[in-house]
Structure 1
Amino acid sequence: MNDQPDLGALIVSRICHDLISPLSAIGNGVELLEMTTPPGPELSLISESVENAVARIRFFRFAFGAASADQLVGRSEIVSMLDALSRSGRLRYDWEVAEDVPRDRLKLAMLLAACTEQALPQGGRIVFAGQADALRLSAHGPKVRPDPDAWERLRHGTVSPQAKAGEAQFAIAAAMLRLSARPLWIETGEHGVEIGF
């Protein structure tokens, strides 16, 4: 077992932590302006952009940040993050898991969701179901276009030496699966993507 800290994940956690505070302050400032200024498209655009940025950073912190098996993440925190993410984009995320989830399992779930996002170029719906130790992810949309090579590497827990920044989620998820030796099943087709882990 590797006892060395994951420096990349720690850096992501630090960056996300440091960005959340100023973005939240901007959001609070916009709310104050809305109370004293007639509503207009400019304030609405700023408010929506800040909410979108905060939601993405929370998502990135769970997906790419540091995670341990002994730290639980509450269902309400997960639902809050995914609801905010759903309001700010073309994808709808639904968390149907009733219990709290270990942070490392949530990390893998969010990485796999990020993989799935790329297979839904026109948007769609991503649903998480099951229990904390046996999660399922299903994704459907008007157009499903998974990258066959990226998904095949994920199935086998391999990382491409030529991986690009846009494929980071595939590489990190594959490495996590290989280290944990967890079983993974994936079905991709023209109507959707189904993952169990």
Structure 2
Amino acid sequence: MSTEPKLMPEPVRNPADDHLLTPENCAIVFIDFQEGQYATVGSTSRAEIDLGAITLAKLAHSYAVPTILSTVAVDMGVNRPTVPELTNELPGVGEIDRTGVNAWEDAEFRKAIELTGRKKIVMAGLWTEVCLSFPTLDMLDEGYEIYPVIDAVGGVSTVTHETAIQRMVQAGAQPITSLAFGCELMRNWARDDADLYRVIINDYFRRKRAIGAASGDLFR
């Protein structure tokens, strides 16, 4: 066994055709992170959803991953736009509004996905059982690899949220969490860009501690 300190990163695998997620081979999608959707989530708290969703947005921006942001019924005057907690982390990313609950049925949304040229789609949406699961099922059927970010989503109830996850997994989706996704992008602590993730992970645990302190559960 070598006694020399290990200070250099291992060789970088081809980021374009890596079977794992890299900044060069995936795109990130946020669907319907709007006040009305948050208000009806019962499977978890808004703070817990934001813990994952804001982390995902920070990763998207820091690693320059193509990002698509979609809303429903804003132009109709029914709903409000994406919450600022997310848009503040995604400068320059415009919103694609829809009338339908299934984003994949919206031509502008589909075109935006296709223009990324990427088949690995990391996706979060409110609610899990509708706005996330419907496009996930359709896109899987059309040959995309879908990675639902489970700690950045929520459903009307725990039952609907968990049932939706089961349905997506059975169809071939690959669940992921925000911090795990960050590790997959960063890959090695000795790389020059590892500090991008260090900033994000430190922010994550700061916000996680704040949630625990507010709830009285410091191990949350």
Normalised by the size of structure 1, how large is the TM-score?
Answer: 0.28
Normalised by the size of structure 2, how large is the TM-score?
Answer: 0.26
Higher strand fraction (1 or 2): 1
- Higher RCO (Cα < 8 Å, 6 or more apart): 2
